[in-house]
Amino acid sequence: MEKRKIIVGSRDSSLAVAQTKLVMDTIAANHPELELELVTMKTTGDVILDKSLDKIGGKGLFVKELDRALRDRKVDVTVHSLKDMPMDTPEDLPILAFSKRGDPSDALILPYGTKVFDDTKPIGCGSARRNLQLKKLYPNVQTKLIRGNVVTRLAKLDAGEYSALVLACSGLHRLDLGYRISRIFTYDEMIPAAGQGILAIQGRAGENYDFLECVNDKHAEYAAIAERAFVRELDGGCSSPIAAHAELADDKMKLTGLYYDEETGQHVIGFAIGKAEDGEQMGVDLANRLKGEIPR
């Protein structure tokens, strides 16, 4: 009997491919009756690297080509880093599953073989969220935009262009580059991006995707919904240094959020505790509470 073929779409970066293969391996282990094929493509966000995302159209540039491939039926599902996805997904292309979360922490990376931080050079960082929190940790150090895939960024660091980089622990581990981590920031030092460490699997509405049940992790799903609700309520785009992180234990959730007010230049951090299944409303309520804490 001929196997049903599932074509899986991914960005063509080494990290995106490694992450997509993790999802494909899980599906293959649980559904030997399926044939899986990987199709990679370069997105606009991967091509334009000399400008920050908010200057060229935001996170949608990482999904536009993959969304088109789904709609054109060139692929059956797509795999994304959830933190790179827009907060609103099209109704016809829902997120169908959330992978078990990798380490959502941010890490400081020093040049290879270096153990001493050189504060005369900038820290390579392309995230407003990280920039804001880095200023509290290293008030005398400048940051400088860096984009591109992980390996390219590390090469620029090792060539002496930067004193350090800040990257997500999950991505480094998935590329077997965890040995490059010099310091892991605690959540008190640096609140992660909404969805950091979680992979999202997207498909077409109304089709049968029962085979993705083996991929979906309920804790990751609860965390993703709460974190994204917080950012969505604040209308936080790429230019806004907004952060959200949910920690779960059994059916309880602690949601921590950072809100930055662009008019006043002030920011506030707060948290909420409740049932994991109420995470979406927790995210909305926390966002509105923090907005009200900025004096006008």
Q: Which domain holds residue 278?
A: 217-296
Q: Are residues 49 and 94 in the same domain?
A: yes
Q: Are residues 76 and 130 in the same domain?
A: no
User: For residue 58, what pLDDT is reported?
Assistant: 47
Bridge partner residues of 213 (DSSP) = none
Q: Which residues of 31-52 are buried (b: 16+ CB within 10 A; e: fewer)?
A: beeeebeebebebebbeeeeee
Q: Is residue 162 part of a domain?
A: yes
Q: Is residue 277 part of a domain?
A: yes
Q: Is residue 139 part of a domain?
A: yes
What is the distance between the alpha carbons of residues 232 and 248, in angstroms, rounded to a whole number?
21
Number of domains in the chain: 3
User: What is the DSSP-derived secondary structure letter of residue 183?
Assistant: E
164 neighbors 182 (Cβ within 8 angstroms): yes
What is the distance between the alpha carbons of residues 117 and 38, in angstroms, rounded to a whole number?
40
Q: Is residue 226 part of a domain?
A: yes
**All residues at 6 or more sequence positions from 134 whose CB lies less than 8 Å from its CB, including other chains:** 123, 125, 141, 143, 166, 190
Q: Strand pairing of 34-41 and 4-11?
A: parallel
User: For residue 60, what pLDDT is reported?
Assistant: 54
Q: Are residues 64 and 208 in the same domain?
A: yes
Q: Is residue 190 part of a domain?
A: no
User: For residue 42, what pLDDT is reported?
Assistant: 79
Q: Are residues 95 and 203 in the same domain?
A: yes
Q: Are residues 158 and 289 in the same domain?
A: no
Q: Find the helix packing angle between 279-292 and 218-233, rounded to 10°.
A: 30
**Which spans in 124-274 are helix H?**
128-137, 150-158, 169-174, 218-233
Q: Are residues 93 and 202 in the same domain?
A: yes
Phi–psi pair at 183, nearest 5 degrees: -155, 135
Task: Please enumerate, as own/partner, the contacts of 292-296 that have beta carbons within 8 Å and a separation of 24 or more.
Answer: 293/268, 294/259, 294/261, 294/264, 294/266, 294/268, 295/264, 295/266, 296/264
- The conformational region for residue 160 under phi > 0 = left, psi -120 to 50 = alpha, else beta, is left
The set of catalytic residues is 84
Q: Are residues 212 and 223 in the same domain?
A: no
User: For residue 282, what pLDDT is reported?
Assistant: 98
Q: Are residues 224 and 282 in the same domain?
A: yes
Question: What does pLDDT average to in each consecutive run of 10 residues of the chain (296 residues)?
Answer: 91 94 98 97 60 47 86 97 92 97 97 90 92 93 90 94 96 97 97 97 97 98 98 76 95 96 92 98 97 85
Q: Are residues 125 and 90 in the same domain?
A: no
Q: Is residue 191 part of a domain?
A: no
Q: Are residues 23 and 170 in the same domain?
A: no
Q: Are residues 228 and 209 in the same domain?
A: no
**Alpha-carbon torsion, ordered 38, 169, 203, 4, to 10 deg:** 40
CATH of the domain at 233: 3.30.160.40
Q: Is residue 192 part of a domain?
A: no
The length of the chain, given as a count of residues: 296
DSSP string, 241-267: --EEEEEEETTEEEEEEEEEETTTTEE
Q: Is residue 292 part of a domain?
A: yes
CATH of the domain at 124: 3.40.190.10
